[in-house]
Chains A and B, each alone.
Chain A
Amino acid sequence: MTPTIGVLALQGGFAAHARVLRELGAEVREVRTPGDLLGLDGLVLPGGESTTMTLGIEREGLAGPLGDLVRAGTPVLGTCAGLIMLDRAHLGLMDITARRNAFGRQLHSFEADLRFPDLEEPVRAVFIRAPWIEEAGEDVEVLAEVDGHPVAARQRNMVVIAFHPELGEDTRLHAQFVERVREHAASRAG
């Protein structure tokens, strides 16, 4: 079965996520209105500008239906601004507080090798005006850190990543996500 994954497409790096997800065999739907969320097996909140996205979510009335989808257990991947969108101060779906532009302006954007607990080889992580997780609840598992600051974490069906796995050739983190989406879709079908 081919799972259908929605990518929030109000603004930002949605096209790069869509390309990787299609390569991994998923059906991709760009999400701009509440109707686009119907029947999704998984959801990606991409990077971009968090203020632009916040205003867009408000304009489209997306907060309610998007929250329902996530609370129903649908696998979610939030990268960069997507991490910020899920935090306590924005959609309030994940028990984290994000710090925006935590590493500084574009001059301080960088690439680095990061170790993940369930991956053998490190991930080449591209951080662009990236946030970090300033504070996380007990239920949140930190997956990776930079200078002692959490930059990837998991809570129930939500995974957040402060960098951009969609910008490289390494698709392992997306493959893990698609796998979770397939399992979720299969359990719903069963």
Chain B
Amino acid sequence: MRDEATFRVKAGLAEMLKGGVIMDVVDAEQAKIAEDAGASAVMALERVPADIRRDGGVARMSDPAMIKGIQQAVSIPVMAKARIGHFAEAQVLEALEVDYIDESEVLTPADEAHHIDKWAFKIPFVCGATNLGEALRRIGEGAAMIRSKGEAGTGDIVEAVRHLRSITGEIRRLGTLDEAELFVAAKELQAPYDIVRSVARAGGLPVPLFCAGGIATPADASLVMQLGAESVFVGSGIFKSSNPEQRARAIVEATTHFADAERVARASEGLGEAMQSLEARKLDDTQVLANRGW
């Protein structure tokens, strides 16, 4: 008997994406460039976060025709984004057979109280998190991969570092608690007790932890991998730079050799201009994407 869409099958794909780079692409041509540079998956979206920021307005799921074009252009997994709480967009993405759905704060939220019930889907979901409680609430709702949010479209790594350190630091803290204290921790984290307890025991999340939001250079990738990320998502950082092919290859190489500074140095040579960047601290509250999600 075959069992499809078990949690092991869902989280298993994330396991296979470890040690790699998932790149945002807006058309088939960029998808091909990403694949040829060694991307382990692509994220199909209509505008990269830097452009969403610049253009404003409501950001939605991409045109299915664009997603299909990307699926035909590459053989690596194709992910696509749905708005937070917009389960109908997620149903459309499932009908298109994308390989992973990102319920993403980069798009304009559709529901200010509820995230998508991800258990209701056969396609696995990745969700963003800024801290451990948020990550565990998403896992409780059925997410099979967590990415630290960072601040998408800025090219500033500081928020990614803050979120990653927050998640890994809180995991370490859970490991020091006794059984009685774990009940209180679950209450404080506003997360399901069973998941809190399993994280405390295992010393890690029950799903892979990737990093997103602000990665612009090979050294940025090395930094977050050394801080405990198991893969990196690069959004605007590649196709908003002056030489996307070369930068994409360099970030792939630096992700594989993240612990080898000589290799990261070599990968960083002569890449030209990084993306035009924004200092995350100077954004006002309405511009901060990481605050979306509850």
Contact = CB atoms under 8 A, between A and B. Distances in A.
Interface in A138-190: 164, 167-168
A2 to B, nearest CB: 24
Given A113-B1, A128-B9, A128-B12, A107 B252 contact: no
B229 to A, nearest CB: 13
B256 A56 contact: yes
A112 interface: yes
B10 to A, nearest CB: 8
Given A11-B18, A49-B41, A110-B2, 17 more contacts: A12-B20, A51-B38, A81-B16, A105-B97, A105-B98, A105-B99, A106-B123, A107-B94, A107-B122, A111-B2, A111-B9, A112-B2, A113-B1, A126-B8, A126-B12, A128-B9, A129-B99
A9 B230 CA distance: 12
B100 interface: yes
A52 B13 contact: no
Given A47-B16, A106-B99, A109-B9, A10 B256 contact: yes
Interface of B: 1-6, 8-9, 12-13, 15-20, 35-41, 75-77, 94, 97-100, 122-124, 230, 252-253, 255-257, 260
Interface residues of A, number: 38
B40 A11 contact: yes
A100 interface: yes
Contacts of B9: 109-111, 126-128
A111 B6 contact: yes
Nearest to A128: B12
Residue of B16, B17, B97 ringed by the most chain A CB atoms within 10 A: B16
Contacts of B253: 59
A29 interface: no
Instruction: Rank and list the top 9 A-B pairs by shortest CB-CB distance, nearest first.
Output: A106-B99, A11-B20, A55-B38, A110-B2, A49-B40, A11-B19, A110-B4, A111-B3, A128-B12
Given A51-B76, A129-B99, A14 B257 contact: no
B18 A164 contact: no
A101 B2 CA distance: 17
A12 B18 contact: yes
A71 interface: no
16 contacts: A11-B20, A11-B38, A11-B256, A14-B18, A15-B230, A49-B41, A55-B252, A81-B16, A105-B77, A105-B98, A107-B4, A107-B5, A107-B123, A109-B12, A112-B3, A164-B16
B95 to A, nearest CB: 10
Contact of A9 (B19, B38, B122): B19
Nearest to B256: A10
A88 interface: no
Given A12-B20, A49-B40, A52-B40, A109 B252 contact: no
Interface in A4-35: 9-16, 32
Residue of A101, A106, A127, A167 ringed by the most chain B CB atoms within 10 A: A106
